[in-house]
Amino acid sequence: MEPIVVKNLTKTFNGFKAVDSINFTVKKGEIFGLLGPNGAGKTTTIKMLVTLLKPSSGEAKVAGYDVVKQPNMVRKNIGIVFQEPTLDLELTAKENLDFHARLYGLNKKRREERIKEVLKLVDLYDKANLQVKKFSGGMQRRLEIARGLLHFPKVLFLDEPTLGLDAQTRRKIWDYIIEMKEREDVTIILTTHYIEEADKLCDRVAIIDKGKIIALDDPENLKKMVGEDVVSLTVNDPERLIDELALEEIRKIVRIEDRLELSVVKGEIMIPRMVEIAQKVGVEVKSVSLRKPTLEDVFIHLTGREIREESGKNAFWRR
């Protein structure tokens, strides 16, 4: 049986559906990502899967156990790293891990062995006897990941594992997560709103928006939904230019304020044609860029909005 099976899972708060009939499975040994903007329903989904919230309807099994009917068995077989830090800052790294290991019933010999293993995994073995309050934010995050692995969980949940960290530290955490997957017999499900994080880490990604899963596949297949290239045009009159860009090679146009995001075939050939059309109709082109599609482009393609920016007047047109 798959480590995670979710069927029509729904969570309603005062009539508002925070999670709306989602379905997915997570395969053994994979890193599965929930990608979406803040408020999309990612954390609510995780909280139901780790038994912190009771679903309004639907069902979910984690490590073979029903999250509603068998919550204690679910908790015994999972590890969790929450968004907010939960370490005791006055204790040392080793003391934090030892306390956690006792809660899960590891005997003294196994505790000592396992604490040494996980501290080495996250490169904190030489800091074992240092108080956690002296750790940097990145070191604390690594220690929390080590703690989540301590009791040999079948499934590890990482809720926004690099939230608030600088780019360099974030990439180091990614390296530890990848190494962890390779060395530990564990399935990982993570939530993130960082595009690069989902692309770098995840074997498969579910894009979630307004409580619904709107796409699910591996990152490369998701990006193929957009097209070969994405051209970004910043102009002074985007609506006027949209009406003129009725070209077969343009698969879709999305307007985000004064910027047009165009899914195209052979972008390097299309750019001169689009600039020429803009000049003919008196539209000023302020900037042009060409790139390969990202997972953010997939989100824009499906919703007409950016993951990072939910405000402002956004609209979209389908071709």
Q: Which domains are present in the chain?
A: 4-222 (3.40.50.300), 226-318 (3.30.70.100)
Whether 188 has a pLDDT exceeding 50, the answer reads: yes
Tokens, residue 54: 């009771």
Tokens, residue 204: 């498969």
Between CA 154 and CA 156 the distance in angstroms is: 7
**pLDDT for position 318:** 33
Give mean pLDDT, residues 21-41.
Answer: 95
pLDDT confidence of 273, banded at 50, 70, 90?
A: very high
**Predicted structure pTM score:** 0.85
**pLDDT for position 185:** 83
**pLDDT for position 308:** 64
Give mean pLDDT, residues 54-67.
Answer: 97
Long-range contacts (CB closer than 8 Å, 24 or more residues apart) made by 266-274: 266/228, 266/229, 267/228, 267/229, 267/230, 267/231, 268/229, 270/229, 270/231, 271/231, 273/247, 274/231, 274/233, 274/245
Mean pLDDT of the chain: 91
Judged by average pLDDT, the poorest of 53-57, 76-80, 176-180 is 176-180
